[in-house]
Structure 1
Amino acid sequence: MTSWNQHKGDARNGGVRRDLEGPLRVKQSWTVDLTGSVGTPVLDRDTVYVGTGRGNCYALERETGRRRWVFETMNATSTTPVVTRTRVYVGTEEGTIYALDPATGDQQWATELPGSLSSSLTVADGRLYAGHTAGVSAIALEDGTGSPLETESADDGAVDDGDVVWTYETDAPAVGCPAVDDGENGGGDGERRFGERETEPDPHSNVDGNLETSFDTDFDHDTTHDDGQPVVFVGTEDETVLALAGATGEEEWTAPADGAVAGGPTVADGLVYVPDQGGTLLAMGVDSGQSWFSYDIRDGFVGSATVLPDDDTTFVGAEDGYLHVTDTSFGRRKLRGWLFAKKGVQLDGPLRGSPVVVGDVVCVGDATGSLYGLDVADDCTHLWHYGTDAAITGTPAVGDRQLFVGNEDGVFHCLTWRSDGRRP
């Protein structure tokens, strides 16, 4: 199984592969024309899976781009699919989840959600989590051996593969992609829990790209999650962040955002990072929702944050054309200019999708159709630029010396690079 089987590579929406050698230069390996704007791809062994805005899910050979199969629906399938050992899970805009055979694309089952699908899918601990216009649902998955499921529904009844286990109803659609924390180490690359961080929040506050830290955020919580018990984090269009018990769907806490959540939460090092369309990046404790810091800009954020706890760095894109770079302790600007701190790296247009990190290179696309590689180890200086003819759509998927990304004109690109360690 590859390490990029769902949106941003894992259930926490991490978007990080530091174990791979990053692309210091890239070249085009292949392109294929698909039907409809291209969504965010996922990888499994020698196959890449991707959905489109015209209702098709494609399975393509990673090395050549040759089509292995296509699964056609009548509704858009541009949300990110999920692949496991035995299934590919695809959601449609109308709210149907399909389970497909990864080798053939044959349908195994279909499940209807209580509302139209409004988020990408996340798999963790034997369940599939999906956000929709009526709330959030958990779907039971078989264990891959054909053994009966031991999971029970919220109504204490036995469930089968593909059954909805629970649904948490919301007043507004869930958006982005759910993030799941298993409670083992708080996510990300670090081992520190929220209560064990080496620094304390700064009580000072500033605006427009500087920090604002608060201890009196208006949040509600009934319980804290115990180690080993998964918690699902979801954002909504009505400016709310939810923490739900993965086993039961019960609410653990809620916290307000300053706008509709953009891209979904990211869990790393005991914190959950939530950018919103109002221009605020929130960092909150996973156990309580208590605010650690907020970072504010004038334009809205796009996509989810990508966090490097060991480097004390957070990346998040925005409509202002910047990839914003902050520290993870106080939300301060990380990059330095001649006279003052820079809010980030300016690109050619508004950012699209979420940034991903491969080795020491952060990769991100924008609305002009460009994909960029920036050097994390050298103050995020530009390493390379790859142009397409239409806006980048979705978040790149990362493999060993491979990068996959699509655009709104339906062209799917595979980029490769040499493993020789030579910088331009």
Structure 2
Amino acid sequence: MSEAATSLAGEVAWKADLGASPGGGPVVLEDVVYAGNVDGCMHAFSASDGAPLWDRCLGAPVSSTPSIAGHLIYFGMLDGRITALDRDDGSEVWTFRADAPVRSSPAVVDGVLYAGSSDRRLYALDALTGEERWSFATEGRITSGPAVNERLVVVVSQDNLVHFIDKHTAKRWFDYETSLADGSAAIAGDSVYAADISGTVRRVRWENRQWPFEKSIRNIRRWMFRWGMLDELPPQKGVVWVRQERGESFIQTPAVDSERAYVSTAGGTVFAYDKQTGDTVWQTHLGASAATSPTVIGGEVVVGTQSGTIASVDAATGEIRWRIEPGGGAILGVAVGADALYATGASGLLVEIR
């Protein structure tokens, strides 16, 4: 979740060309916007006017939204590489190779890079050197980015689990069962917010560690429920609230601000939930399938769609403030700067919106 201090008018300030379809969304820092493409090139543009600053081509498609920490920019590639470039000139600093594509956007916290791979592993690497510190095996591919706080790394994998991992020891903290999920989990305060394709969103307290015997007992009680020996399915540990929207499919990462959690659906609806109670505050239909996770910008929630529009919704009421179509096809990602929004379109468009 990203936030800027000001609201936007919904006007296109400039457009730039990535040369090929983007490999994910853009990222912006200190008046420079970075975005990669499926031709294997990472590009840097001036955030002021869209002028190209440098590009670096690496021979395989960029397959994740990049991340920035210090003087480096990090991203995953379809051939399994995790690459770090100097963000001033694009020179390559280091490369780490996983055994399968890396579509997970890296998270860099306290000098450590965390990223998942389709080889079913979450990697922790030294952010300056690329040296592996540890890896954690799951039973499913990892295609979404990890969320990190002071204690844990939380990652969603294609084994229908949200994994909570102690980032200092690489030991399992606990697992939370979901349906298949395409987006990442979001950490806010003492809780993790996660959504899945069954139309279910939940808030889970991450501080509740799960001990091995607890999972075994819950599995036994679940079978007892299925056999009719219990009236209720035993709840999972740490759950604060769970909401399900029947007929909907959540395919993106929740966004969380001080009051609400926001989730977008494949059907094109944005839901806002009270963060404390899980009650629905509002729901707004965008007119097309959501293609990006919600992004909070001041008092707005911005979502890009498969039809190529970008919509701004009032965070408190759900009223659509503005909607534009930049002209670059489906919106694949958005990033927030100090006073502007940046988005990539499927045709290779990079656009600034003020």
Aligned to 2:87: 141
Any conservation in 2 of the 1:270–1:285 contact (CA below 8 Å)? yes
Rounded to whole Å, the distance in 2 between the matches of 1:250 and 1:418 is 45
The answer to whether the Cα contact below 8 Å between 1:113 and 1:132 also exists between their aligned partners in 2 is no
CA drift of 1:262 comes to 3.6
User: Hey, what's the Cα distance between the residues in 2 that align with 1:274 and 1:162?
Assistant: 29
1:401 aligns with 2:276: no
Q: 2:102 aligns with which of 174, 178, 182?
A: 174
- Which residue among 5, 18, 31 is the counterpart of 1:73? 18
3-state secondary structure, aligned to 2:251: strand
**Which residue in 1 is equivalent to 2:196?**
318
Partner of 1:132: 77
Q: Which residue of 2 aligns with 1:257?
A: 138
Q: Answer yes or no: is the 8 Å Cα contact 1:295–1:331 preserved in 2.
A: no
Contact kept, 8 Å, 1:309 with 1:328, in 2: the verdict is no
**Rounded Cα–Cα distance in structure 2 between residues aligned with 1:305 and 1:416:** 23
| Percent of paired sites with the same residue | 24
User: Contact conserved, 2:124 with 2:135, CA < 8 A, in 1?
Assistant: yes
CA distance in 1, matches of 2:125, 2:41: 22
Q: Residue by residue, what CA displacement relative to the aligned partner does 1:13-65 show, whole Å, maximum 9, x if unpaired?
A: xxxx6xxxxxxxxxxxxxxxxxxxxxxxxx6x76xxxxxxxxxxxxxxx6322
Q: CA deviation at 1:331?
A: 6.8
Structure 1: unaligned runs, 5 residues or longer: 1-7, 10-16, 18-42, 47-61, 143-160, 183-229, 333-337, 420-424
In 1: Cα distance, 2:249 partner to 2:53 partner? 40
Partner of 1:122: 67
Partner of 1:369: 268
- Residues 85-132 of structure 1 show CA distances to partners (whole Å, capped at 9, x for unaligned) of 131111112221111011111101001135211111101112100100
The answer to whether structure 1 residue 103 and structure 2 residue 35 are counterparts is no
Rounded to whole Å, the distance in 2 between the matches of 1:274 and 1:346 is 21
C-alpha distance in 2 between matches for 1:331 and 1:259: 22
- Determine if contact 1:132/1:175 at 8 Å carries over to the other structure: yes
Corresponding residue SS for 2:34: strand
TM, length-normalised to structure 2: 0.77
Residue aligning to 2:93: 165
Contact 1:176–1:303 (CA<8 Å) still a contact in 2?
Answer: no
Q: Is 2:237 the counterpart of 1:353?
A: no
CA deviation profile, 1:317-353 (whole Å, cap 9, x unmatched)? 1121111332213378xxxxx9664872112411121
Contact 1:269–1:309, Cα closer than 8 Å, also in 2? no
Question: Given the superposition, is the C-alpha separation of residues 132 and 235 from structure 1 closer, same or farther in structure 2, using an over 3 Å criterion?
Answer: same
Query: Aligned pair 1:329/2:207, yes or no?
Result: yes
Which residue does 1:86 correspond to in 2?
A: 31
Aligned length: 291
TM-score, normalised with respect to structure 1: 0.65
Shift in Å at residue 74 of structure 1? 3.4
| Counterpart Cα distance in 2 of 1:356 and 1:73 | 27
Tell me by how many angstroms 1:232 deviates.
0.3
- Secondary structure in structure 1 of the residue aligned to 2:195: strand
In structure 2, the residue corresponding to 1:243 is in which secondary structure? Answer: strand
Q: Tell me if structure 1 keeps the 8 A contact 2:74–2:106.
A: yes
| 1:232-251 superposed matches below 5 A | 232-251=113-132
Match of 2:348 in 1: none
Which residue identity does 1:177 align to in structure 2? S
Shift of 1:309: 3.4
Please report the RMSD computed on the Cα atoms of aligned residues, expressed in angstroms. Answer: 2.3
Which consecutive segments of 4 or more residues in structure 1 shift more than 6 A?
A: none
- Equivalent residue of 1:314, what SS? strand
Q: What does residue 294 of structure 1 align with?
A: 175
Contact 2:146 2:185 in 1 (8 A): yes
Unmatched tracts of structure 2, length 5 or more: 211-230, 318-354
1:276 matched to 2:157? The reply is yes
Distance in 1, Cα, partners of 2:15 & 2:72: 25
Q: Which amino acid aligns with 1:141?
A: R
How far apart, CA to CA, are the structure 1 residues paired with 2:98 and 2:59? Answer: 11
- Displacement of 1:359: 1.2
Q: CA deviation at 1:139?
A: 0.8
